[in-house]
Amino acid sequence: MIQIDKLVRSKRKTLSLIVETDGTLTVRAPLRMKEADIRGFIEAKSGWIKRKQTKAREVAVASRRYADGETFLYLGREVPLRLVPERIPALVMDGEFKLTKSAHPRAESVFEAWYKKQARSVLTERVDFYSRKYGFDVEKARISSARTRWGSCSAKKTLSFTWRLVMAPPQVIDYVVVHELCHLRELNHSPSFWAQVEAILPDYKSHRKWLKHNGVKLQL
Ligand SMILES: [Zn+2]
């Protein structure tokens, strides 16, 4: 289902859909138009909306400049960046990202290092949580830099997760963790594999869908 990020009602006679430059969807609708009719219209146009959103996000990512006000995803939230005078460490996050001005030329690697560190702690914690709760036997969990492969599981019981995953909402991170943990028991995507995922996360399908539609945003 397509998410409406902003709904503006006015005395207009027709409905209009605007995909903003950051990929969010603004809907302008007549005052009395029924919610169900708006929904129906959006679903009918969903192919067009998704194409526009993917394009907008690709453009937004390609034009990253690490400037004041630019936003970066962390745990599903858009966190704004502010350039600050000299400080150590070069990058901190306390409601906003604060990057030392002198580190600006190497901003991308500073950010990547920061994300990797968070990924290590967040993913280790989630793997431990689900392994303990459901009795999975994990040899080790490591962090990769894969671009579209969110996680993987080897025959040696080693799980890998890309650091980009910590940009996603917590429920989506949990879905990828549970998905890879279930591969420890079934190294395939058979119905019985999906039944195991579903037993732990009944709404896993919506998280899988989120990744499919928003995966392109999970990068610097
Ligand atoms: Zn899989």
> What is the set of domains in the chain, with CATH numbers?
6-62 (no CATH), 71-106 (no CATH), 112-217 (3.30.2010.10)
Residue 2 reports pLDDT greater than 90: no
- Contact predicate 143/160, CB 8 Å: yes
One DSSP character per residue, 104-124 reads GGGHHHHHHHHHHHHHHHHHH
CA 34 to ligand 1 center in whole angstroms? 41
CA of 154 to the centre of ligand 1 (A): 11
- Average pLDDT (85-95) is 91
Question: How many angstroms is it from 156 CA to the middle of ligand 1?
Answer: 15
pLDDT at 20: 82
Cα(197) to centroid(ligand 1), Å: 10
Q: Is the pLDDT of residue 63 over 90?
A: no
152 alpha carbon to ligand 1 midpoint, in Å?
7
Q: How far is the CA of 47 from the centre of ligand 1 (A)?
A: 26
How high is the pLDDT of residue 26? 92
| Rounded to 5°, angle at Cα 44 from 41 and 50 | 105
Q: Specify the pLDDT at position 104.
A: 94
Distances from the Cα of 109 to the Cα of 16, 57, 99, angstroms: 41, 21, 12
- In angstroms, the Cα distances linking 105 to 70, 94, 111, 133 are 16, 22, 12, 44
pTM of the model: 0.75
Average pLDDT, the chain: 93
